[in-house]
Every structure is written in structure tokens, then in C-alpha cells.
Amino acid sequence: SGKIANTSSMTFRGMGIDGFAHYPTSKAAIVGLTRCLARGWGDFGIRVNTISPDYIAHEGRLFDQQPEMEQHLAGQRAIKRPGTADELVGTLLFLAGEAPDFVTGRTSG
């Protein structure tokens, strides 16, 4: 038995960005892999889920030279700012714990 928490991105649900196909495509692949592994490994007590956050501020971020793009993205959210890596910890701890023992193959945003 065990728990696997993959990391994807909310971009896999978007409309696509010309010249940027590689990123949402790879993130969609992680979600697909999660669902396949969850189905295949469920009988062994292995739970597989994905956390798919919106843009997370980090060093070397994509929009360093385009702060207006970062602000544009933040303006589209309910919480009008980039998230931080520390804010993902609670979700990961939840997925690793006992509470979601009947949760598998899911993607949380």
C-alpha cells in the first residue's frame, strides 16, 4: 500500500497557448498517468492523486521579464495573487495521510 501525489498544473484545462504546447501537454499527461495508475494499483492499496495548482511564484519564474502577465493571471483568480510553494504543503499532507484513503485518481487544483 502507499500514497503517490503527482504534481501537474491547471494549464492542462486551459484553451492552449500558441507556441507553448509542450507545457500543458506534459501536464495533461501527468493527469492521465495518475488516473491509469490509480485504476491499476487500487487493488494493492496504492492511492494515486495529482495536485494541479495555478501559477506558483518561484525563483526563476516564467514571468520575471513580464510582471504584467503575472498580474493578469492573478487578476483572473478568486485570490488575486500568485500562490506560494508553502501553500501546497497542506494539500500534500492531506493526500499522504489516512483521511483520503478512498480518494484515488483525482486532481485537485
Active site positions, annotated: 9, 23, 27
Q: Which residue has the cell 501537454?
A: 25
Q: In this structure, what C-alpha cell is assigned to residue 100?
A: 483520503
CA distance 1 to 45: 4
Count CB neighbours of 34 within 10 A: 23
